[in-house]
Structure 1
Amino acid sequence: MATATTDPHNLFLREDAETQGDVLAGFKKDHMQLLFLRFEDQQPARTWLKQLRPLIATTKQVATFNKEFSRARSYSGGDDPKNLNALWYGISLTFEGLTFLAGHSPLPGVDGNSTDGPLKAFFEGPAKRAPALGDAGQNAPQNWLFGNFGDGRVHAVLTLAADQPHALRATLGDVRQDLARAKIVTVYEQEGATLEGPRRGREHFGFKDGVSEPAIKHLDEPDPENPVYEKGHPGTILVKPGEFVVGLERERPHPLPYPEWAQHGSFQVVRRLAQDVPGWWAGVAAQLKVLKEAKAAPPEATTEWLAARLVGRWRSGTPVAKCPHADMSYNAESSNDNLISFRDDPKGTTTPLWSHLRKTNPRDGFPVRDKEGEFHPDTKFNHRRIMRRGIPYGLPFDPSASALNGPDAPRGLVFVCYQADLFRQFEFIQRDWMNDETFPKPNPDTHHEQVDPGPFPTGSDPVAGEETVVRWERPQGGEPVALSFAQFVRTEGAVYAFAPSVSVIDQLAEGRMNTNMVVSGLTIFTVNSFDNTERDTVDSGTVRLFLRPDGNLVVIDNSNERILWAANTANPAGAKTQARFADGELFVCTVKEGNQIDQKLWTSGTAGKPEAKLVVQMDGNVVIYHRGEAIWHTDTALR
């Protein structure tokens, strides 16, 4: 019989009462308020969190409501049911916020000298990492309205989401009183609301938003004909839930030891992104003129035609890849279409390589092919996906209306996303895809090698990225055309936070936090890394499990650097040595070319238990647990 983790039709996550509701199920409300909070007094803050805990929405609650809402909407012919409403609460905590509540560091083994990764990104926060993410100049942290730094430091992000604005307003009044009693300072409040009328479901540039979001295995129902995709949503890929929730099944083995308190939680990114709407459309119109003067666009091409290519979709959401000549706004099926392939567009002559759609998810059009010369499948980048929960803020641009609709009025997107790995998901997309002007390089369909881009590379994302020059490829061939775009989206605030499980919220309200480090699945410890996904240390703050340069796997007391336990696998012959945790077994081996195991030098003897977890504990012991039972340990608890 298939287990819950292998049977795609087992929708066990719909009963998840541990993970907060916005992460997997999604609040999906028309009105949202984010309160960025700073704690002043530890005990009142803990009491406030304890009182808040029963209000926090879970995946089970939100998924059940969303299912009923969708069913009622289908019965009403597409209109929102007026008598089915909810108001949801969510809470996330920054590194500083967790430290304040617990009374000690939540990541005692992570510091400025540790290997870059999700825990270090969380530890440092977005302000310190801003230059690498393109947040410089007018986007720099000193210009932000809120963030994890200085006097504007944030300890928590409280999210309220509602169907009805009056319900949200009334609740906010009570929430503010509770915060005042708990001596909690509101650093900043950020409202968000779905745009009204024909703009509903769109962001301020005018394009349908959220079309490309992934579905989640064991929460969303798979298509019986093709279980890679969600039922009723062709092209919407089902991604394993561990890409969004720590401790669940992941797309590929990552050696990511996480603290115990992170299990069933998710790292959250919140960014206030201001949009220059008139500037963006003026920029598109100016570059269309450049294209026509270069005879690189058809005479009948309009500003809408070029804007669709910048986004990768028309305003309605219809993909340019399938409808390059005109929008199909009348076709709801087309506007929700995610079954998009770029295999036949390797140089980006239909959907440009630098379009927002391809920059944030290359799908099967990634220019590097496999050994057989085939393009990578559209599931190749499942481990890079993020779960976006954004909402617009501000009034739409309309120069004929009030001053709040004018060109200088505040408007933009409250960008919210969840992931298990800040470093390899959100930051990678922002740093290595959107803002990297060399990604992806043009690749002709006649051979496998990427070509020299010539005088200028692909360019950055012209919708949400930095100021850039992009490479326009002529469909008929010939010299590409350079198009210049200013930066039209500005970062005005950013926070990295963590949405803990319901159980951990209870623990934090009591001042408790378990910083045991947990390893599950396939994990590789190595001295000579094959790539940057591998590491050589798991550190609980008390002790660290460490593969030494000589190939010996040891447990070291952090207080005095004394070796408490050793596998005695030092390999003076100079062979490449690895320690691995796989199938419930911890072992040290030598490896051959291609990362293949050559010889096992030592083993814990616990193989055959894929659900087992390796835990480097706060007390100094290193233990392998299987279904709650200790099946191996180093006997190094510090007494």
Structure 2
Amino acid sequence: MTDQGADAAGRTLPLRHSDDIQGDILAGFRKDHETVLLLRFPDDQRPVRKWLRLMIPQIATTRQVAAFNAEFSAARHARAGIDPAGLSPTWVNLSLTYAGLKFLMGEEPFPDTTLPGVQAFIHGAFARAEINGDEGDSAPDHWLFGREDQPVHAVLTIASDEQAQLELRASELRVAAARAGLTVAFEQVGATLPGDAKGHEHFGFKDGVSQPGVRDFDRPDPRDPIHVDGKPGTRILPAGEFVIGHPKLTGDAPPLPDWTRNGSFQVVRRLAQDVPAWWAQAGAARRQLEQEGVELPPGTGTEWLAARVVGRWRSGASVAHNPNTEPPTKPGAPDDNLISYATDENGHTTPHFAHIRKTNPRDGIAGDFKNADTRRIIRRGIPFGQPFDPSSGAGHGPDTDRGLVFIAYMADLAEQFEFLQQRWINDKDFFQTDAGHDPVIGKDSDITLKLDTKPEGKKLHFAQFVRTEGTIYAFAPALTTLRDLAGR
């Protein structure tokens, strides 16, 4: 087996060995259980600095997480896909909001900086709600966290494969924070869904299929070096798209203070999902097509329409490669991610409104990937709440809280996360296509379903059944920066 710290030609992948970049940014925690603690600092800096000094040794590094993930994957492969016993560390990541950074620095963190992404960070998600489409039931006045009257200074992400280990570490961290005078402003617990639903979100679709690869971290395929080895279609992008201080697709990184190097901007969102309402809506739209005499492929039902709304079938198989029927699942097969929209310009196969096309148009913009690649983010979400299954008893009904803990990392909040939200997800005229909003996570709108049998398109109304219940903008500093902040 090739060394996980080198590519197929033996060239080192230096970012895999970083003890400065925090874990979960490039090397995902990928755990079954997760707790996010939103913390508020007291007025006195001294106990907070002491708390930070005690926290730093507990923070996972990229080197630690990458090495563990490689060992775990190799052991799992040797056991024919069964998780190995005894490999279950608990990881911790720490990020700071603008208020938290300013508190610890005792001065303006970004002097003389007018970059849009930095301004987004300074103003915070509450002030940027309209840009992100957070209105109506998703308006920040309804949020559980992130409101202006609920200051947050730090975000702790704790992840483990064992719930008992997670609860123990989270308890220890809560006690340590309390001793330093910090208070928990909000606590969010998440866990992968059980059984065959593991790796899927609450609507039932496989999640996290399309993630970007990172140059000098992910091993390129020796036969196709623009893609990650063993992951066809996973494009390798410069590290500067996600980590500050490294080259970007457009060239050198923008000028930011030295302390930001090897850090990453973070978005934390709580997205509530109304599962029965969303599926009822998909079923009603499918019946509308039938009642209005729209000619559809034989045997197509609600699952067919829902797959077009998402751009994938529940298994993760793409509509682009499997237009009308979900293929059998092949254990061990790579994700269906080698997708092109260049030959589907009119959106007859994968609609322009499809969630995966809205959030990653790939080569569907002017026939190349460049525009889409500059908007990519690294997602580290995990579901919260029990699956919707009324037959399973209490806690599984329609009124139970459930949804997604959305966590993402990027180098520019404005040009990546906010651009996705405003210009693609919630743009009705997505690339002059009259597509409508993203019917999975976007605002209410009409969408235009185009078919070979009806090229002019058919309007269907989709209401919003994913509700924002809180958002935080934070920054995950390098370990070097955290040590400097703790020692000031």
Structure 2 length as normaliser, TM-score? 0.95
Q: Could you tell me which residue of structure 1 aligns to residue 123 of structure 2?
A: 124
Q: Could you tell me which residue of structure 2 aligns to residue 391 of structure 1?
A: 382
Q: Whole-Å Cα distance in 2 between the matches of residues 247 and 488 of structure 1? A: 38
Q: Could you tell me which residue of structure 1 aligns to residue 485 of structure 2?
A: 508
Cα distance, 1:483 vs. partner?
0.5
Q: Could you tell me which residue of structure 1 aligns to residue 101 of structure 2?
A: 98
* Structure 1 segment 103-252 matched on structure 2, within 5 A: 103-110=106-113, 114=114, 117-147=116-146, 149-150=148-149, 152-252=150-250
Q: Could you tell me which residue of structure 2 aligns to residue 302 of structure 1?
A: 301
Q: Could you tell me which residue of structure 2 aligns to residue 342 of structure 1?
A: 341
Q: Whole-Å Cα distance in 2 between the matches of residues 148 and 139 of structure 1? A: 12
- Give 5+ residue unaligned stretches, structure 2: 1-5
Change beyond 3 A, Cα 1:280–1:63: same
Q: Could you tell me which residue of structure 2 aligns to residue 64 of structure 1?
A: 67
Find 1:404's aligned residue among 363, 371, 395: 395
Q: Could you tell me which residue of structure 2 aligns to residue 487 of structure 1?
A: 464
Cα distance, 1:335 vs. partner?
6.5
Q: Helix, strand or coil: the match of 1:49?
A: helix
Q: Could you tell me which residue of structure 1 aligns to residue 28 of structure 2?
A: 26
Cα distance, 1:400 vs. partner?
1.5
CA contact (8 A) 1:8 1:227 kept: no
Cα distance, 1:402 vs. partner?
2.6
Identify, as 1 or 2, the structure richer in helix. Answer: 2
Q: Helix, strand or coil: the match of 1:437?
A: coil
Cα distance, 1:437 vs. partner?
0.7
Q: Could you tell me which residue of structure 1 aligns to residue 417 of structure 2?
A: 426
| Residue 330 (structure 1) aligned with residue 333 (structure 2) | no
Higher relative contact order (CA 8 A, sep 6+): 2
Q: Could you tell me which residue of structure 1 aligns to residue 85 of structure 2?
A: 82
CA contact (8 A) 1:20 1:90 kept: yes
Q: Whole-Å Cα distance in 2 between the matches of residues 49 and 213 of structure 1? A: 31
Change beyond 3 A, Cα 1:333–1:471: farther
Q: Whole-Å Cα distance in 1 between the matches of residues 253 and 192 of structure 2? A: 39
C-alpha deviations, 1:462-486, integer Å up to 9, x for none? Answer: 0011111001112124532100000
Q: Whole-Å Cα distance in 1 between the matches of residues 121 and 347 of structure 2? A: 36
Q: Helix, strand or coil: the match of 2:173?
A: helix
Q: Could you tell me which residue of structure 2 aligns to residue 11 of structure 1?
A: 13
CA contact (8 A) 2:232 2:334 kept: no
Q: Helix, strand or coil: the match of 2:39?
A: strand
Q: Whole-Å Cα distance in 1 between the matches of residues 380 and 356 of structure 2? A: 17
Q: Could you tell me which residue of structure 1 aligns to residue 441 of structure 2?
A: 464
Q: Whole-Å Cα distance in 2 between the matches of residues 503 and 190 of structure 1? A: 28
Structure 1 length as normaliser, TM-score? 0.73
CA contact (8 A) 2:240 2:253 kept: no
C-alpha deviations, 1:428-487, integer Å up to 9, x for none? Answer: 111110011110333xxxxxxxxxxxxxx2100000111110011121245321000000
Q: Could you tell me which residue of structure 2 aligns to residue 263 of structure 1?
A: 261
Q: Whole-Å Cα distance in 1 between the matches of residues 288 and 84 of structure 2? A: 48
Q: Helix, strand or coil: the match of 1:338?
A: coil
Task: Name the larger-Rg structure.
Answer: 1
Point out the more displaced range, 182-191 or 211-220.
211-220
Q: Whole-Å Cα distance in 2 between the matches of residues 86 and 383 of structure 1? A: 33
C-alpha deviations, 1:115-145, integer Å up to 9, x for none? Answer: 5x11101100010010111011111111101
C-alpha deviations, 1:488-540, integer Å up to 9, x for none? Answer: 100000000000000100011123xxxxxxxxxxxxxxxxxxxxxxxxxxxxx
Q: Could you tell me which residue of structure 2 aligns to residue 352 of structure 1?
A: 351
Residue identity opposite 1:99 in structure 2: K
Q: Whole-Å Cα distance in 2 between the matches of residues 383 and 46 of structure 1? A: 36
Residue identity opposite 1:10 in structure 2: T
C-alpha deviations, 1:196-225, integer Å up to 9, x for none? Answer: 101110000000000001111111110111
Residue identity opposite 1:351 in structure 2: T
CA contact (8 A) 1:472 1:482 kept: yes
Q: Helix, strand or coil: the match of 1:466?
A: coil
Cα distance, 1:298 vs. partner?
3.1
Find 2:276's aligned residue among 255, 278, 281: 278
CA contact (8 A) 2:297 2:324 kept: no
CA contact (8 A) 1:308 1:320 kept: yes
Q: Could you tell me which residue of structure 1 aligns to residue 450 of structure 2?
A: 473
Q: Whole-Å Cα distance in 2 between the matches of residues 131 and 299 of structure 1? A: 42
| Residue 439 (structure 1) aligned with residue 441 (structure 2) | no
Q: Whole-Å Cα distance in 2 between the matches of residues 410 and 476 of structure 1? A: 41
Cα distance, 1:148 vs. partner?
5.5
> Root-mean-square deviation (CA), in Å?
1.7
Point out the more displaced range, 15-24 or 285-294.
285-294
C-alpha deviations, 1:568-612, integer Å up to 9, x for none? Answer: xxxxxxxxxxxxxxxxxxxxxxxxxxxxxxxxxxxxxxxxxxxxx
Q: Whole-Å Cα distance in 1 between the matches of residues 31 and 52 of structure 2? A: 23
Q: Helix, strand or coil: the match of 1:22?
A: coil
Q: Whole-Å Cα distance in 2 between the matches of residues 478 and 166 of structure 1? A: 55
State the number of aligned residues.
Answer: 480
- Give 5+ residue unaligned stretches, structure 1: 370-374, 443-456, 512-639
* Structure 1 segment 15-54 matched on structure 2, within 5 A: 15-40=17-42, 41-54=44-57
Q: Helix, strand or coil: the match of 1:10?
A: coil
